[in-house]
A = this chain, B = another copy of it.
Amino acid sequence: MSEKHSYVGKNLQRTDVLDKVTGRGKFTADLKFSNMLYGKLIYSTHAHARILNIDTSEAEKLPGIKAIITAKDVPSIRYGLSPARYDENIFCIDTVKFYGDKIGAVCAIDEDTVYEALKLIKVEYEALPAVFTPAEAAAEGAPQIFEEYPRNLNTEIHQHFGDCDKAQEEAYYVRTDRFQGQRTIHGVIEPHCTIAYWEGKRVIVHAAHQSVHYLQHHLARILGMKEGDIRVITPYVGGGFGGKLDVSGLDISAIILSKITGQPVKMAYDLEEVWLNGRGRHGMDMEYTTGVTKEGKILFVKNEIVIDGGAYTGLGIASAYYAGALLTVLYNFDNYKFDAYRYVTNLPPCGAQRGHGQPHPRYAFESHLDHIAEDLGIDPIEIRIINARKSGDVTPNGYELKSYFLKEANELARDASGWKDKKGKMAKGRGIGVGNGGFVSGAGFCQYRTDLPHSIAMIKVYDDGSHAIVYTNAVDIGQGSDTVLRQMAAEGMGYPYDDISIVSHDTDLATLDFGAYASRQTLMAGWAVKRAGEDVKRKILEMAAEMIKVKEDGGYRSGKLMPEELDCREGIVFMKQEPAVKITFAEVARAYFVKNGLLIGRGYYHPGKLGGQHKGAAVGTSPAYSSATQVSEVTVDEETGMVKVLNTWDVHDSGVAINPNLLHGQVHGAFAMGIGETLWEKVMFDEKGKLLNGNYAEYRLPTALDMPPVHSMILDTFEPNGPYGAKEVGEGATTPTLGCVANAVYDATGARVSSLPLTPEKVWRAMKEKREREEK
């Protein structure tokens, strides 16, 4: 036991691995209940239209149809994930706002009958003019989608820190660039699915969701129920990435249809429906104006972002704030002007997607910064190191960086990738690029209840000390949080990892936790679990102090030990001064149980008051910030514009890695997601706003064949605000990729493509234009 930790920092086996590789683990869609009905939503086939009439009479005659519901059958309450913008109805009441908007729901004894019924339901529309871009939405005389959003402006942000205009006057060099980020979708393996059934006045909801707590909370509000009358269970979840955080029409409809029919109702999206209602990444138009000193030190940044929000708000306010909030975390400058405009349009609503609001702005600013470096003749990594924030910094918007090692990340990525031997020294068509990123480790703020702990954990030990159960409602959506939390519980208790099980994902069985979003669980649920473990350990040491007999002057003394003289590791309680004096945890636990009853530990985490005082400061406020640097090497085919990523080096400053393999897994997955968004992915619509590529054949997701070797490296850092020094990795790892690969492509071609994705056509055209410019 010479190492500091027994379980933290170790590549212990994933908790869910056997269930998943054997197929034994159940996802929501795997569940079956007696007399279960199957339901589907009825979708709008207009982007913007008035509903004149809904005729379900033919469908109702179909044998096997159990219920058809539309707006008239459900509460007319408005809801949404942003309390300031409740703008969504369960079903469209008067108008439909996008092609795919929810008009109603059907359930029947089997899926075939449901699809048959959907064909028989006739909706009469009066088409209304529609808008598909922020520009169209903002135009004079544009059709108004919501009364409450004049000129369709949904969210407007103006955050000004320092004095940009003054800094601009003083700057040695000022440059403006514009970039465009596209709409993308999460690409989860498991489409959303919900099964609901009633037990008396209570409804049991099995749902593929990222937060049992939020789903319970919002459903209670929408349905006018008490939270406790809704039990939410999330079986195994096949990926979330932000797309399973919103309350979905499936959730609400399954509950209502089950109430009406008295039978369990299962509702699942097919892939196209995931695209329509999965709430992927916003499209963004981004303009950066940055002023620097001659040495490349950033003096100010003016940042204007125009966002295509789609039809509803959802988490979009947070997305808009995030788009600007975290730039100040990466780079050290005092003068910042961030203006954002999120418009509603007649397209599917956007929401949170891994890196929430960050990847596009990171792509844009990292590209922009490369141009500035080039203009000044500074190495791209050098300019990043010059400007990198460091531990102890406080950003102009009030975020405190307890640990921050972006400089070291750049240095390690530079050295590991052989940057100095490659940059500017490679053959034509081959390039190397760098990109920085990072993310929050949880949101410091709960918008509807500030007095609740964000995470609670409980640990219960078997009466004979032979096993312990960790209860938490952190949600493992595939990222491995159950494993990481088990490791921290084992460390906190001083008890074998193999003797710990985890019970989670169930509002009845486990303890309150806000769930999987904003990369919060390792830090927040981690603190709760660590503290619960330490609470158990404290009780064990107190009991052990009464039990252990130690030699003293040739004799024995008993009951005189102080708990402080003891420690416990790997199931052994021992005297710190004399480790040979020991007793097993199990023996002590057994005695504790006989004396005191249930051996239970509890742990809580509330982030307390964090961050700035300005409007919107809540978004971006976090107990800890990760940073990350990526370097990628690419080739670009001059004939076709095809980009191939050859190699990538990733350095993540995530504090202490609780389970390094899981961290590397996040980095690999994040990189795959990142190159997809950089090179191929884009959600497409026709001129009437109808989705064109809602499937994995026409929406180009990266596959294993597209992946270069990913050299994932961990900085050995320590985050004081994190449990065992840990902070985030899950989302931050996605953020450097877009700019990094784009910069490598620029390095290979000398031609900048300023809109994502960097399709062969765009790259080819950019190279062609460059050649033509040079030929002139």
Least CB separation from A13: chain B residue: B200
Contact string against B for A residues 316-358, beta-carbon threshold 8 Å, 1 for contact and 0 otherwise: 0000000000000000000000000000000000000000000
Q: How many copies does the complex hold?
A: 2
B451 touches A594 (CB 8 A): yes
B-chain residues with CB within 8 Å of residue A23 when the two chains form the complex: 34-35
A467 touches B228 (CB 8 A): yes
B-chain residues with CB within 8 Å of residue A197 when the two chains form the complex: 24
A508 touches B512 (CB 8 A): no
Contact string against B for A residues 442-472, beta-carbon threshold 8 Å, 1 for contact and 0 otherwise: 0000000001110010101011111111000
B-chain residues with CB within 8 Å of residue A136 when the two chains form the complex: none
**Interface segment out of the listed A105-113, A495-503, A547-555, A657-665:** A495-503
Partner of A597, one of B24, B231, B499, B604: B604
Least CB separation from A462: chain B residue: B228
Given contacts A197-B24, A602-B598, are A512 and B463 in contact (CB under 8 A)? yes
A692: Cβ under 8 A from any B Cβ: no
A226 touches B34 (CB 8 A): no
B-chain residues with CB within 8 Å of residue A201 when the two chains form the complex: 498
CB distance from A245 to the nearest CB of B (A): 20
Q: Give bound CA distance, A503 to B204, whole Å.
A: 14
Contact string against B for A residues 595-634, beta-carbon threshold 8 Å, 1 for contact and 0 otherwise: 0011010101000000000000000000000000000000
A503 touches B498 (CB 8 A): no
CB distance from A453 to the nearest CB of B (A): 7
CB distance from A415 to the nearest CB of B (A): 40
B594 touches A200 (CB 8 A): no
Interface size class of A (residues with CB under 8 A): 35 or more
Q: Give bound CA distance, A19 to B200, whole Å.
A: 11
CB distance from A211 to the nearest CB of B (A): 14
Contact string against B for A residues 499-514, beta-carbon threshold 8 Å, 1 for contact and 0 otherwise: 1010100011101100
**Residues in A474-502 with C-beta less than 8 Å from chain B:** 498-499, 501
CB distance from A654 to the nearest CB of B (A): 27
B24 touches A264 (CB 8 A): yes
Partner of A498, one of B200, B263, B594: B200
Partner of A452, one of B463, B498, B507, B602: B463
B-chain residues with CB within 8 Å of residue A465 when the two chains form the complex: 228
A456 touches B598 (CB 8 A): yes
A199: Cβ under 8 A from any B Cβ: yes
Contact string against B for A residues 219-261, beta-carbon threshold 8 Å, 1 for contact and 0 otherwise: 0000000111101000000000000000000000000000000
A597 touches B453 (CB 8 A): yes
CB distance from A363 to the nearest CB of B (A): 40
A227 touches B597 (CB 8 A): no
Q: Give bound CA distance, A452 to B594, whole Å.
A: 6
B-chain residues with CB within 8 Å of residue A263 when the two chains form the complex: 22
Q: Give bound CA distance, A229 to B451, whole Å.
A: 38
B499 touches A503 (CB 8 A): no
Contact string against B for A residues 636-679, beta-carbon threshold 8 Å, 1 for contact and 0 otherwise: 00000000000000000000000000000000000000000000
Q: Give bound CA distance, A597 to B597, whole Å.
A: 20
B-chain residues with CB within 8 Å of residue A466 when the two chains form the complex: 226-229
A33: Cβ under 8 A from any B Cβ: yes
Q: Give bound CA distance, A7 to B197, whole Å.
A: 26
CB distance from A230 to the nearest CB of B (A): 9
Partner of A501, one of B13, B231, B469, B598: B231
Q: Give bound CA distance, A465 to B226, whole Å.
A: 9
CB distance from A35 to the nearest CB of B (A): 6
A508 touches B469 (CB 8 A): yes
Least CB separation from A231: chain B residue: B501
A458 touches B227 (CB 8 A): no
B-chain residues with CB within 8 Å of residue A456 when the two chains form the complex: 597-598
Residues of chain A at the chain B interface (Cβ within 8 Å): 13, 18-19, 22-24, 33-35, 197-202, 226-229, 231, 263-264, 451-453, 456, 458, 460, 462-469, 498-499, 501, 503, 507-509, 511-512, 593-594, 597-598, 600, 602, 604
Between A and B, 13 residue pairs with Cβ closer than 8 Å are A24-B33, A24-B35, A24-B197, A226-B466, A227-B467, A228-B465, A229-B467, A451-B594, A452-B463, A452-B594, A460-B511, A503-B508, A598-B602
> Which 7 A-B pairs have CB atoms at the shortest separation, nearest pair first?
A228-B467, A228-B466, A23-B34, A226-B466, A228-B462, A451-B594, A24-B34
